[in-house]
Amino acid sequence: MSDTRNNGRSTDGRFGKGNAGRPKGVRNKATQAVEALLEGEAEGLTRKAVELALGGDVTALKLCLDRVAPPRKDRLIRIDLPQASNAQETVALSEAILRQVAQGELTPLEAQPVMAMVEQYRRIMETAELEHRISELERASR
């Protein structure tokens, strides 16, 4: 058994029993200090930022616009994909996505998460197929 040091960690670097580190929901001291400093000032600060933006301050304008209409991280894409009802048919899904990238209809960055979803779908379908096969084999062996 490893002995526990003064910091609550054992010699192998793990926290000892009952010493799991910072409790959930506890913020660090810097965050608490900033919140205390700004407490009750949000309305005034917002008003001042809007006044500066209306006065032509480009940085304040950007700050205000980013709050009103934040920049989009991604865009909605609509693509036609063949239907797949088993793991083997997901190959056609992958080919359709690659074709759309090759034709410039999707960017590689847009296609990547779609391909990840197709792969996850393939794994789910494969697992379901294997489960069905095992059930059939077990039923046949009885």
Q: What is the pLDDT of residues 77-112, one digit of tens each?
A: 888 888 988 878 889 999 999 999 999 999 999 999
99 part of a folded domain? yes
47 part of a folded domain? yes
Whole-model pTM: value is 0.49
- Give the side-chain half-sphere CA count within 13 A for 52: 15
Could you tell me the residue range of the domain that residue 61 belongs to?
Answer: 29-68
115 near 97, Cβ under 8 Å? yes
Contacts of 95 (CB under 8 A, 6+ apart): none
Quote the number of domains for the chain: 2
127 part of a folded domain? yes
pLDDT at residue 4 in the model: 46
Report the alpha-carbon distance of residue 90 to residue 128 in Å, rounded.
Answer: 14
Residues 136, 101 share a domain: yes
Q: Answer whether residue 1 shows pLDDT above 60.
A: no
Residues 64, 94 share a domain: no
